[in-house]
Amino acid sequence: MFLNKIQAATAVLALALTATAASAEIKMIMSNDNNNKGLKGQTFDYLVANLEERLGDKIDVEMHHGGTLFDQQSQIQGLQLGGAHIISPTAGIYSSVNPKVAALQLPFLLNTPEKIQAAVADPIVRDAIMPGLNNQNIEVVAVWMNGPRDLGYKGKDPILLPTDAKGLKVRVQSAPIFVKTWEAIEANPVGINWSEAPTALQQGVIDAGEVTPNSWRGSSTYQFVDHITMTDHQYSFYLVGANKQWWDSIPASEKAEINAALADATKWNMSKNTEINGAAAEFMAGEGVGIHYLSDEQRAAWAEAMKPVWQELGNGLVGDDVMNRLKEIAGVN
C-alpha cells in the first residue's frame, strides 16, 4: 500500500516538473505529520496563504495535515521520492538518513529558538550536517520552532527528578536521539507515532509521552495524562525539507517568492512560539492536569543524567570541533 502511494506520488512529481518547465506554474505538495491545530499546523497554513498571495495562479498548493499523506515514519521516504515536495519533521527524524542531525537536538544543549537558528546557520555546523541531507535529495529551506519538550504521564505523584522516571514507559519518536535520551535515565522509551499515543496511554502500552505543550493540547492527548512536568529537556524544532530535485527545478523568480514566503512563515512561527506554548500550559492546568515546574537543582539533575548522550550522539557523530562549536553557541561547557 505504501509503495503504491509512493509510486503514484512520484508520477505526480514528474508531471509537476514538466508543467513547471513548460509554463512556470508550480505544483507544491506539502505534508504535515501532525494536526492542523498545533503550532506547526498553523505555520503551514500561514505559509500556504502567503504563497498564494505572492504567487497567485503561478502556484498550486496541496496541503495535507494529520499524517494523511505521510506519517512520521514514512515522510522522509515520501519526500525523497517526490510524493511530497515540502515536509517539516522534528529534526531528529532526519537521523534515519543522516545520523549527524542528532547533534542538533542533544538534551539540555540548544535550549532556545535563537540558539537553534544560530546553530543551523553556522558555517561549521552546516558543513558538517547539511551535505548528508543534500546527498539524500533533501534541501533544508527553513527552521521552525515547536517548543520545549515536556514529560506528561499517568500516576498519582509528580515526577520531579530523573530517578522518578526509572522504568517509565515513555512514548518517543523512533529516532536514536529520543531513544538514547530516555535510556540515559533508565526509562523505557517506546517508539510509536504520536497519533497512536492516546490509545497507547489508555491501553497501558505507554505510561507517558514527551512533546511540547502545544502538541499536548493540539492533539487533545493531555486528556489521557494526570501530570505534565516541564522538564524542557530538549527544545523541539522542525527542519523544513524540500525535495531537492523539485526545489532545483523552480525558476529563480518564483523561488525568490517562495523563499520570501518561508521567511515570513518562519518569522510568524518564532513570534508565536512562546505565546502558544504558554497558553497551552495554562489551558491544560485549567482542565485539571497537574503542571509542575522544576527548581534549578532539579533541572540540573536532569541535565547531568542525560549528558552522556552528548558523547555518543554529539562527539561520536560530528566530531570534537563541531561539538565544541555547538557548545559555544549554546553557552555551555
C-alpha–C-alpha distance, residues 106 and 102, integer Å: 7
Is 43 within 8 Å of 144 (Cβ atoms)? Answer: yes
Is 163 found in the same domain as 25?
Answer: no
- Please give the model's pTM, rounded to 2 decimal places: 0.86
**Considering the domain boundaries, does residue 284 fall inside one?**
no
Please report where in the chains the cell 518564532 appears, as a residue: 270
Tens-of-pLDDT digits for all 333 residues of the chain? Answer: 544 545 554 554 544 444 444 454 899 999 999 889 889 999 999 999 999 999 999 999 999 999 999 998 899 999 999 999 999 999 988 999 999 999 999 999 999 999 999 999 999 999 999 999 999 999 999 999 999 999 999 999 999 999 999 999 999 998 999 999 999 999 999 999 888 999 999 999 999 999 999 999 999 999 999 999 999 999 999 999 999 999 999 999 999 999 999 999 999 999 999 999 999 999 999 999 999 999 999 999 999 999 999 999 999 999 999 999 999 999 997
**Considering the domain boundaries, does residue 116 fall inside one?**
yes
Read off the DSSP letter of residue 163.
G
Is 76 found in the same domain as 189?
Answer: no
Is 245 found in the same domain as 220?
Answer: no
Is 74 found in the same domain as 197?
Answer: no
**Considering the domain boundaries, does residue 320 fall inside one?**
yes
DSSP string, 209-232: EEE-HHHHHHTTGGGG-SEEEE--
Is 41 found in the same domain as 11?
Answer: yes
Is 103 found in the same domain as 176?
Answer: no
Is 98 found in the same domain as 62?
Answer: yes
Strand partners, 144: 238
Cell of 191: 517508539
Is 139 found in the same domain as 156?
Answer: no
Is 226 found in the same domain as 264?
Answer: no
**Considering the domain boundaries, does residue 282 fall inside one?**
no
Q: What is the pLDDT of residue 6?
A: 52
**Considering the domain boundaries, does residue 48 fall inside one?**
yes
C-alpha–C-alpha distance, residues 79 and 244, integer Å: 9
Is 162 within 8 Å of 185 (Cβ atoms)? Answer: yes
Is 129 found in the same domain as 51?
Answer: yes
Provide the domain count of the chain: 2
Cell of 142: 527553513
Is 172 found in the same domain as 139?
Answer: no
Q: What is the CATH number of the domain that holds 45?
A: 3.40.190.170
Is 175 found in the same domain as 252?
Answer: no
Q: What is the pLDDT of residue 188?
A: 98
Read off the DSSP letter of residue 170.
E
Q: What is the pLDDT of residue 73?
A: 86
- Residue 156 structural domain: 150-235+290-330
**Considering the domain boundaries, does residue 285 fall inside one?**
no
**Considering the domain boundaries, does residue 165 fall inside one?**
yes
**Considering the domain boundaries, does residue 294 fall inside one?**
yes
